[in-house]
Structure 1
């Protein structure tokens, strides 16, 4: 359906050290995501307004892109951006485990807050599906730190987002958590 973030393992495996701008680019991408979603819900799904955040992601993952067949599809756009930012954080966690865990907490909190601020609508549901899709389908978990404590912190941060989107104890929450768990086994 779209070309993107699942092919990224090869682009970062050859790196010998962390990119000097990765940390600042993560926080820039988080701010760009908030501005994109909160900047008027008409923006998400318009096929072009995600460009600034996608450019930030592409500095570290050049293969991240939205296929032409998916332009203007809100769920796909959100999924690619969410997967890209999450991959940036996981890449940072390889080099700075604690910093990656803190960045993931910031990212998940921002995702939850942005989602909560959207008025109930079909657009909100689409954005929620895009967030979950980005975490479960567009994120390369092989980039994650091997350090146990930080890894547990990152995983629990990610799992805490699903109840904010689908509601605690819902079938969709359980399915999203199970999908994430299957990726981490």
Structure 2
């Protein structure tokens, strides 16, 4: 009886897909995806909302999160494309933070700066507004917070970086920034 129970537990343990270590290419793929996203947002490698130029960034994200997709109903919408891509890269960083907390915190700071810099380089217009909404909703609403590290210091650094994106894009103290930060805070509690 004990042997049967032991065999059942061993079989169940073999079927779980929990990785024992961080994927060896995750760190380099994160920085590759950051560069790809930044040039895509600015418009030097395609343009958010054109319905096809996000493919290289999406392929990089799908190496680690194969279920990440942009549905047909979202293709051609700058806000939805940006939301999904920003969420995917952010999830990659949160995954890294689970294994290497401080490295994840530093990567999140770099990602936050890259997003704000790219947003600042987009010409004023309706596309810029759609990109802003996509960035903020990708961070505050779609990101999988469960992937985040449990290390206190790194977690605080990551949360601070994510919140700073909202205020740096919309302007510190603005109603949009406060709303986005509140949504993010409610998900973190």
Same fold (TM over 0.5): yes
1:32 paired residue among 36, 50, 53:
36
Alignment of 1:123-142 (within 5 A): 123-142=127-146
Counterpart in the other structure of 1:87:
91
Alignment of 1:15-164 (within 5 A): 15-40=19-44, 43-164=47-168
Shift of 1:41: 8.7
Question: How many matched pairs?
Answer: 174
1:171 aligns with 2:178: no
User: Structure 1 CA distance, aligned partners of 2:110 and 2:127?
Assistant: 24
Q: Deviations over 1:155-183 (max 9, x none)?
A: 00111111111111111111000000001
User: Structure 2 CA distance, aligned partners of 1:99 and 1:166?
Assistant: 27
Q: Which TM-score applies when normalising by structure 2?
A: 0.89
Stretches of structure 2 lacking an aligned partner (at least 5 in a row) = 1-15
Q: Which TM-score applies when normalising by structure 1?
A: 0.91
Counterpart in the other structure of 2:7:
none
1:184 aligns with 2:185: no
Taking a change above 3 Å as real, the CA distance of residues 45 and 95 of structure 1, as seen in their structure-2 partners, is same
Moved over 6 A (4+): none
Counterpart in the other structure of 1:4:
none
RMSD: 1.5
Which structure has the larger Rg? 2
